[in-house]
A and B are shown apart, each in its own frame.
Chain A
Amino acid sequence: MSIEAKIRAYIAENFLFGEADQLAVTDSFLDKGIIDSTGILEIVMFLEEQFGVKVADSEMLPENLDSIGNIVKFIEKKSGSK
């Protein structure tokens, strides 16, 4: 599974509850109202476990985490720089 597919599956399962087809790669999680402050911590934990990266508190920003596309870019950057 690609990074995007894994992330989409996780978001679908845990936040969209199965309706992930409707979520475009660039859709903002905040705009879609699907993630709140406790949700973002769960996503970070998932990324750390699934991709073996360490997410610093200072990286918990919309540009890294607020859409499927942003997360993919963020994970690629983190994995590449390891």
Chain B
Amino acid sequence: MKPQRLLHEALQFSAARAGNAGKVAVVVEGKPYTYGDLLDQALRLSAALRSRGLTRGDRVAIYMDNTWPCIVSLYATLLAGGVFSIVNPQTKADKLEFILNDSSARILLTDGHLAKEFLPALPLVRQPLTVIASGQLPASPQIEAFDEVVRNTSPGEASREIIPLDLAALIYTSGSTGNPKGVMQTHQSMVFAAGSLIEYLRLSEEDRILCVLPLAFDYGLYQLLMAIQLGATLVLERSFTYPAQIFARMQEQRVTVFPGVPTIYAMLISSHGRAPLSFPGVTRVTNTAAALPDEFVVKLREIFPNTLIFKMYGLTECKRVSYLEPELADQKPGSVGRAIPGTEIYLLSPDGKPVPPGETGILHVRGPHVMVGYWNRPDLSEHMLKPGKLPGERVLCTQDFFRMDAEGFLYFQGRSDDIIKTRGEKVSPVEVENALHSIAGVREAAVVGIADPLLGEAIRAYVVVEPEANLNDKQLRVACAARLENFMVPKEFVLCKELPKTATGKVSKKLLLQQSAPA
């Protein structure tokens, strides 16, 4: 049997397995598509991408919602030998332009309803760019219709040039410097990571995995990758915005795996409080992105009476670091568990010395799932990837502080940067501050995260406006919403006369929080 080496071989193998061509691979908002459909459409689009000049290693930006065209685009890019980058559909024109230029994408696959953001970005893209859009097209001669392109191209063959060390994806993630950075992941890393996750989550081809998380987020993306690698079924929804629709779909589609983040669980639990919910068919519930409070676990057991609950920890730079076996949840409260299968983790002090059990150190991760680095950012790669045990080897220094007990179980202690985690998404305060500074009339701005029961952390902005500017919090919110993804728009604006500074003249966020602790 041929082993799976490349990410898209999962699709080819699953579709070729006896009787599987007619098996449903994905259900998108209730509509089923088979493995045969997915491979056929992906091979057509793949041939179309190559005929439009895509060659091995070229980047393809996929700026789409959780839709069928998005999934076809992802596999088509890989089959053509390209590198995909899924861009969150909430992304605004400026950041989209940054990503298109930073990745020097050759092709943009998008949806007509996002035209308001992508049209202004196109003239600013420095390299020639082919644009193919699904849905209703804006009037522009540059843009081709997704459906027609797929329909009018015959299925080609998968690229034969790619080896496991080639890049499969650039996954953009918020950086503490303000601009997003593209995490480079190879085919080998991603195939390995998907396999490791499948193993510890005890998934099988019978599973029906729900995904309400954006495919632009690696946690959402891997639900798809795992489902296809298993030959299982993904039940894809656009978002968790309309919970009643999700609940109905879970029943109708007999979902067995529920991946979420604490904000989603908080909403689920609050809904359960109004009218009891019960999903006995769900056998795996997974949580990552932020800690799952203990009181949530009690409620989740009522909602999912037959499930295992997995607490996990990870970062895009290696996909996932650790998981806690559900059977050990009571014995190891507060822990995010041990290294995922096939990987190793250890703590080092800031000067690189081993840390004894029970003491705090910086988490290091070793394994085939670690990224190659950040695209175009050797300086940042240097900061996160350090020399490992073997000559030439690089391990991931997460820059996060943990404690580890004698059995290797991890306990999160804190971050070394000031990234805000809100609704499970990472937000760079600098990125929000930059957006505020670009508003006419804003003199100074500082952004912090404050504890919030629903969001994990809520974003609060302290703003000093020019006296003649006459800006209020509503106008600031308007201006932010035009520049940032929704989850990055501050929930609160505090207008100040000045911002407290440290001796070196930097804004002191510590003093800010002390001065304005809410009454």
Contact = CB atoms under 8 A, between A and B. Distances in A.
B263 interface: yes
B267 interface: yes
B239 A58 contact: no
Given A57-B274, A58-B275, A35 B481 contact: no
Nearest to B270: A41
Contacts of A34: 486
Contact of A37 (B89, B241, B477, B481): B241
Interface residues of A, number: 26
Given A17-B474, A33-B486, A60 B242 contact: yes
A30 interface: yes
A38 B244 contact: no
Contacts of B48: none
B486 to A, nearest CB: 6
A37 B487 CA distance: 11
Given A17-B477, A31-B113, A61 B244 contact: yes
A13 B274 CA distance: 28
Contacts, number: 60
Interface string B453-484: 01100000000000000000010011001000
Contact of A30 (B238, B264, B474, B481): B238
Contact of A61 (B242, B423, B481): B242
Contacts of A31: 113
A4 interface: no
Contact of B244 (A13, A33, A59): A59
A36 interface: yes
A17 B481 contact: yes
A41 B270 CA distance: 11
A54 to B, nearest CB: 11
Given A31-B113, A37-B263, A66 B242 contact: yes
B275 A36 contact: no
B245 interface: yes
A62 interface: yes
Contacts of A66: 242
Interface of B: 65, 89-90, 113, 238-245, 263-264, 267, 271, 274-275, 423, 454-455, 474, 477-478, 481, 486-487
Interface of A: 13, 17-19, 28, 30-41, 56-62, 65-66
8 contacts: A18-B474, A30-B238, A37-B240, A38-B267, A38-B455, A40-B241, A60-B244, A62-B242
